[in-house]
Structure 1
Amino acid sequence: MPVSVGPYGQAQPSCVDRVKMGFMMGFAVGMAAGAMFGTFSCLRIGMRGRELMGGVGKTMMQSGGTFGTFMAIGMGIRC
């Protein structure tokens, strides 16, 4: 299968590379959103110290993974 070439001569990324890039972008955005919402919700219920860091970290990983998965699916559909 020939490699598609862009308008300036560089090769286009494969579909797998696009899906991985979509996951990474979604994971980064989800982690940022999880940091904001996780910090707010953990402080609201009265967490402090190590418990706060654990709660915020868990929220960041969950939201990053969820949003990354949906972005990867979206990039896969676009291929």
Structure 2
Amino acid sequence: MPVTVGPYGQSQPSCFDRVKMGFMMGFAVGMAAGALFGTFSCLREIGMRGRELMGGVGKTMMQSGGTFGTFMAIGMGIRC
């Protein structure tokens, strides 16, 4: 399959690069959402404090980042 060239001689990113970028963007958005929702949840509903709070928020951030990143990567893969 020939590489498509843009108007200024630049080649387009490969499908794998697009999927990687989709995962990274989704992971970043998921981490931000996980920080907001995780902090609220741990403070308000569970009543965590200190080291326990940081661990709970970090776990929530990683879970939501991984989940949203995976779905964004799948979406970018479908678009290739």
Deviation of residue 6 (structure 1)?
1.2
Deviation of residue 2 (structure 1)?
2.1
Structure 1, unaligned runs of 5 or more: none
Query: Runs of at least 4 residues of structure 1 off by over 6 A?
Result: none
CA–CA distance in structure 1, aligned partners of residues 34 and 73 of structure 2: 18
Deviation of residue 20 (structure 1)?
0.3
The one-character-per-residue Cα deviations of 1:23-60 (angstroms, maximum 9, x if unpaired) are: 00000000000000000000012100000000000000
Structure 1-normalised TM-score? 0.97
Moved more, 6-15 or 52-61: 6-15
Calculate percent identity across the aligned residue pairs: 95
Structure 2, unaligned runs of 5 or more: none
CA–CA distance in structure 2, aligned partners of residues 5 and 36 of structure 1: 41
Name the counterpart of 1:26.
26
CA–CA distance in structure 2, aligned partners of residues 16 and 49 of structure 1: 41
Kindly report the root-mean-square deviation, in angstroms, between the aligned alpha carbons of the 2 structures.
0.7
CA–CA distance in structure 1, aligned partners of residues 75 and 6 of structure 2: 22
How many residue pairs align between the two structures? 79
Deviation of residue 7 (structure 1)?
1.9
Structure 2-normalised TM-score? 0.95
- The residue matched to 1:2 in structure 2 has which SS? coil
